[in-house]
Each structure stands twice: as C-alpha cells, then as structure tokens.
Amino acid sequence: MNFKIKILIIFSLFLYGCETTKINKSKDLNFEIGDKYKNTGFTLIYDNNLENLKKLDDRSLNIYHKFLKKKTSVKITNLRNNKAIIARVKSNKVKFSDFYNSVISKRIAEDLDLDSNEPYIEIISISENSSFVAKKTKTFDEEKKVAEKAPIDGIQINDLNSNKIKKELTKKDNFSYSIKIADFYYKNSAQMMTDRIVAETNIRNYKIIKLSKTKYRVLIGPFNDIYSMKKSFEEIRLLNFENIEILKNV
C-alpha cells in the first residue's frame, strides 16, 4: 500500500512540474504573437564580387531577407544618423550568412549614407494597409523609376532652401557592440539560457542585464571588431535562437 502511495505522489509531482513548465514558457520571452518584425543588426551591401549570391540591381530599392515574405514593405534606418528609407523584400530564398539581417542594394546604402565598414541598421516590417505605406507607395514607385533609368553615381538630392549643399559629418564612434540573445520574464530563465550557452558553445563573454523586475536580457560581448563578433554570432546561431539582434553599446 505504501509503495502505491509513493508512486501516486511521484506521478502527481511529475504532472505538476510539466504544468509549471508550460506556464513559465508562456511568459518566458517578451514577445507577442502578431508583433511586427523588428531587428537591429548589420546588413550586407550587395556587390557584384560577392560569390554565390543572386544578383541585386544596384539601382533598386529592393532587399533580400531570410524570413519576411516577398514584396513585404520595410522601413530601413541607418542607426548611426537616423536616416530612413522604404524598401521591399525581393526574395526570402537567397542564401547568405546569418550574421547579416538583410542584403541591400548600393542605392539604399548610398541614400542612407551607410558606412560600409559598419553598416548598422534597423529593419521594421510595415503593414501594406497602414496609412504610412499608402502615403509612401507613390513616392516609392517614382523613386524606383528614376533609379532604374539613372546611373547610381549620377543621382543627387539638392536642398532648394539652401544656396550651399552642406555635407553632414558623422562623428566616428569606437566600434563596440553586443549580441542580444533574448529578453526573459524570469531571471531563472535567463540563467538557464546562459547555462546552455556554456554547455553547448565555447562562448564565455556573456552576461545577464536586469532591465526591470520582469525583464532580464542575455547579452554576449562586448565586441571591439566585426570579425570576432561575426565568429561568435555564427557559433551561437547553431543553437537556433530566433531573431538574434546586435546592439550598439552606449
């Protein structure tokens, strides 16, 4: 009889543990289904010299992306000068390194004044039904026609309100970035994530940042050069974490 009671107690505890896991998992990541896609990271500027990459017209306002559907409208922002542009996903089937959150045309890079050595951007998907896209659609199509006809080096934008074209000078910051793995509701969940990183990778420069009472962020870094960061990014990507982001350290 005592043996049966022990078995029943163990079985009950097992069921309780499973239920607790389900509840914690639902609160684990601070992500809501239906949220717009948003990612900050480095983009790859298309060049004809890139091997095994499908051609992307230098003059186009199109990008390659791995997750967003074809023809999805996106807002791309150069996070170093806050210049933004509307573009569209041409394909999500083109293969390129997971370290980059997109592949963009030279036209987009030039319009955003991106530093080719530090092309740090934010990508946000935009609903086609939004008033923002509706207002920008006509401009997008007109810009596309101009881009297709004009050589990329011949496109200039003049300020009609000024007699002189002022060139904006961006202060050169030191290269310092961290890889954001995820935000967690519970500190224990964040700790479990770092335990997995230690167990399954060679990465040791991780940390847990407390953002609030219910938000804990797991970061890897900081990195002072793009090569070491890319190496760690590709290693951590093997663990199949979703939507890993790169954050500028301030």
Residue 241's pLDDT band (cuts 50, 70, 90): confident
Residue 55 clears pLDDT 50, i.e. is over it:
yes
| Residues 85 and 135: beta-carbon distance below 8 Å | no
Model confidence pLDDT, tens digit, residues 128-170: 665 545 455 444 555 555 545 544 444 333 443 434 334 444 4
Average pLDDT, the chain: 78
Name the pairing type of β-strands 38-45 and 100-104: parallel
Q: Where are any strands of DSSP class E within the chain?
A: 38-45, 62-64, 73-78, 83-91, 100-104, 120-126, 177-184, 206-212, 215-223, 245-248
Could you tell me which CATH number the domain at 38-154 has?
2.40.40.10
pLDDT (mean) for 83-101: 95
Alpha helices in 44-185 (DSSP H): 106-111, 131-149
Q: Cα–chain-centroid distance for residue 161? A: 36
Residue 101 clears pLDDT 70, i.e. is over it:
yes
pLDDT at 141: 54
Q: What distance in Å separates the CA atoms of residue 139 and residue 143, rounded to the nearest whole number?
A: 6
pLDDT at 250: 78
Lowest pLDDT segment from 70-84, 117-131, 225-239: 117-131
Q: In the chain, what are the domain boundaries? A: 38-154, 177-248
pLDDT at 242: 82
Q: What distance in Å separates the CA atoms of residue 40 and residue 172, rounded to the nearest whole number?
A: 19
pLDDT at 23: 27
Could you tell me which CATH number the domain at 177-248 has?
3.30.70
Q: Give the contacts of 232 (CB within 8 A, at least 6 positions apart).
A: 179, 203, 205, 220, 221, 223
For residue 245, give both structure tokens: 């982001």
Q: What percent of the chain has pLDDT over 70?
A: 68
Of residues 80 and 170, which shows the higher confidence score? 80
Closest of 219, 216, 213 to residue 187, by C-alpha:
216
Number of helices (H) and strands (E) in the chain: give both, helices first.
Answer: 5, 10
Residue 186 clears pLDDT 70, i.e. is over it:
yes
pTM strictly above 0.95: no
For residue 240, give both structure tokens: 């199949």
- What single-letter DSSP state applies at residue 29? B
Residue 61 clears pLDDT 50, i.e. is over it:
yes
Q: What distance in Å separates the CA atoms of residue 190 and residue 243, rounded to the nearest whole number?
A: 16
For residue 25, give both structure tokens: 């998992």
